Amino acid sequence: LASACGGDDRPSVEAWVPGWNRIVVAIPTSEELGNPPERAVCSTALGVVRSESGDLFPTPDLVIDDVVADWIRIAEDLLFECPPASQRVPSLEYAYGELARLEAEIAAVLAIDTESL
């Protein structure tokens, strides 16, 4: 059912996933950030997220368009504030938890789309 939401102008899962993976792996782990977080690490990752995120739209499935956009917003907040301390993203723990939750949601939709091929 989820794949029925996608149109012909949307990329295939196979074509889209490499770009998604590049952005996901660009997010440093909390260990890579350090305590306190290293600004240079955040800046480098933020550059990757911002330069690569435009290639993620459209997504392979309409169902995940907003989820991917939310993931990008949280990643940008995490990396721009370094560490985050806003009302929307109050802490590193919150940011990493939300990124993981959204990644799982995206992975579930992509798995359904791949199975329905």
pLDDT band at 105 (very low <50, low <70, confident <90, very high): very high
Q: Decide: helix, strand or coil at residue 9.
A: coil
- Cis geometry, peptide bond prior to residue 60 (ω within 30 degrees of 0): no
For the chain, give the mean pLDDT: 92
Predicted confidence (pLDDT) at residue 3 exceeds the cutoff of 70? no
Predicted confidence (pLDDT) at residue 54 exceeds the cutoff of 90? yes
Predicted confidence (pLDDT) at residue 5 exceeds the cutoff of 90? no
Predicted confidence (pLDDT) at residue 59 exceeds the cutoff of 60? yes
Model confidence pLDDT, tens digit, residues 16-52: 999 999 999 999 999 999 989 999 999 999 999 999 9
- What average pLDDT score do residues 90-114 get? 96
Instruction: Specify the pLDDT at position 116.
Output: 77
Share of the chain above pLDDT 70, in %: 92
Model confidence pLDDT, tens digit, residues 77-87: 999 999 999 99
